[in-house]
């Protein structure tokens, strides 16, 4: 069991270097914000188109199939389950009510006034409708799918897929140092308002670097438990809970030890404060590809304004 390979969500893919790796991190951050903000108040067609654009972008990037399958497979399965549950769930409160007037009051009055040889009245529901519009799309036994439930399902499923996968694709093709350097460059105007930009960027860098360490510690603890061949059936619920509690405490101790080692390494290297010891990880330089992608972001938002409500 290798968590660093079986669960690569949120990790940086160093090899192979694709064309998406070479784009400026600030430009990719603009596109990420576009994918995250454009679904707000958007129609179902636009939301489905975002899913299609993300799939095409993944294929165009030529990411290895093993990474593509492991990451996108989990997100697609979760989004489909959310779509099905929302679609089959009731679209509102199931409240029974009784009308104040009869359902067909006019027909009852006309029937009482007309002679016996008058034609039979036809209910409004049996008359031919002018259009093919139906609010209830599918109704089989206990399964009922309405237009409202289908719209809610499309919103929930596509929103979950876009939020998770767009962020994951950004982390997959952008190094943590590039992410923090891009955020530091974009947040420079906030320094005028005494916002600790450098401290925020440093905290984000350490957090991104700490994710593989957490997975490594969990992997080592799981392997240590497997090598001991514990008979969980004989332990029972109480014994199993005690064992997992001990494992959790050991995991917390190891993570705190790793954090202390990182802090000691930073102090040894003379890192006293972010403002006095700044490290330049990345040099920003916009190339022709970056300008083309930035123009594409402008076209993306133009399409969102004109056709995003469909």
User: How much of the chain exceeds pLDDT 70, in percent?
Assistant: 78
Mean of all residue pLDDT scores within the chain: 78
Q: What are the residue ranges spanned by the domains of the chain?
A: 1-92+136-174+283-310, 196-279
**pLDDT of amino acid 282:** 62
Beta bridge partners of 304: none
Note the Cα 257 to chain centre separation in Å: 32
The tokens describing 8, both together, are 């690569």
Q: How far is CA 305 from CA 40, 119, 246, in A?
A: 12, 55, 55
Residue 240 — very low, low, confident or very high, per pLDDT cuts 50/70/90? Answer: confident
Residue 104 — very low, low, confident or very high, per pLDDT cuts 50/70/90? Answer: low
**pLDDT of amino acid 89:** 80
**pLDDT of amino acid 1:** 45
- Is 70 exceeded by the pLDDT of residue 121? no
**pLDDT of amino acid 274:** 61
**pLDDT of amino acid 128:** 67
Mean pLDDT for 161-184 is 84
Residue 148 — very low, low, confident or very high, per pLDDT cuts 50/70/90? Answer: confident
The tokens describing 253, both together, are 């101790």
Residues 221 and 215: their CA atoms lie apart, in Å, by 10
- Between 177 and 249, the more confident residue is 249
Least confident of 20-24, 33-37, 44-48, 105-109: 105-109
Residue 239 — very low, low, confident or very high, per pLDDT cuts 50/70/90? Answer: confident
- Between 86 and 230, the more confident residue is 86
Mean pLDDT for 121-143 is 68
Q: How far is CA 278 from CA 7, 177, 197, 273, in A?
A: 33, 13, 12, 8
- Between 92 and 246, the more confident residue is 246
Q: What is the pTM of this model?
A: 0.69
**pLDDT of amino acid 284:** 76
Three-state secondary structure string covering the chain: CCHHHHCCCCCCCCCCCCCCCCCCHHHHHHHHHHHHHCCCCCCHHHHHHHHHHHHHHHHHHCCCHHHHHHHHHHHHHHHHHHHHHHHHCCCCCCCCCCCCCCCCHHHHHHHHHCCCCCCCCCCHHHCCCCCCCCCEEEEECCEEEEHHHHHHHHHHHHHHHHHHHHHHHHHHHCCHHHHHHHHHHHCHHHHHHCCCHHHHHHHHHHHHHHHHHHHHHHHHHHHHHHHCCCCHHHHHHHHHHHHHHHHHHHHHHHHHHHHHHHHHHHHHCCCCCCCCCCCCCCCCCCCHHHHHHHHHHHHHHHHHHHHCCC
Least confident of 170-184, 260-274, 292-306: 260-274
Q: What is the pLDDT of residues 42-96, one digit of tens each?
A: 888 888 889 888 888 888 888 777 777 766 777 888 888 988 888 888 776 555 5
């Amino acid at each position: 069991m290798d968590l660093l390979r079986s669960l690569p969500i949120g990790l940086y893919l160093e090899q192979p270097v694709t064309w998406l790796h070479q784009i400026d991190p600030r430009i990719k951050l603009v596109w990420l914000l576009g994918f995250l903000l454009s679904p707000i108040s958007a129609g179902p067609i636009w939301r489905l188109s975002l899913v299609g654009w993300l799939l095409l972008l993944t294929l165009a990037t030529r990411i290895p199939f093993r990474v593509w399958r492991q990451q996108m497979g989990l997100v697609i399965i979760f989004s489909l389950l959310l779509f099905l549950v929302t679609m089959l769930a009731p679209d509102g409160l199931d409240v029974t009510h009784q009308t104040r007037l009869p359902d067909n009051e006019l027909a009852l009055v006309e029937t009482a006034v007309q002679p016996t040889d008058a034609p039979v009245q036809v209910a409004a529901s049996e008359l031919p409708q002018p259009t093919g519009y139906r609010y209830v799309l599918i109704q089989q036994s206990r399964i009922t799918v309405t237009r409202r439930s289908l719209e809610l399902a499309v919103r929930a499923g596509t929103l979950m897929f876009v939020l998770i996968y767009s962020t994951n694709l950004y982390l997959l093709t952008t190094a943590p140092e590039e992410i923090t350097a891009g955020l530091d460059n974009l947040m420079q105007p906030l320094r005028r308002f005494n916002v600790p930009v450098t401290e925020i960027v440093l905290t984000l860098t350490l957090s991104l670097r700490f994710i593989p360490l957490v997975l490594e510690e969990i992997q080592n603890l799981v392997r240590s438990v497997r090598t001991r061949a514990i008979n969980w059936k004989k332990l029972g619920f109480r014994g199993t809970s005690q064992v997992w509690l001990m494992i959790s405490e050991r995991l917390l101790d190891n993570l705190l030890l790793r954090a202390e080692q990182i802090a000691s390494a930073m102090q040894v290297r003379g890192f006293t404060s972010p403002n006095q010891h700044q490290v330049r990880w990345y040099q920003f330089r916009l190339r022709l590809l970056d300008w083309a992608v930035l123009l594409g972001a402008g076209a993306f938002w133009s399409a969102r304004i004109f056709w995003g409500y469909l």
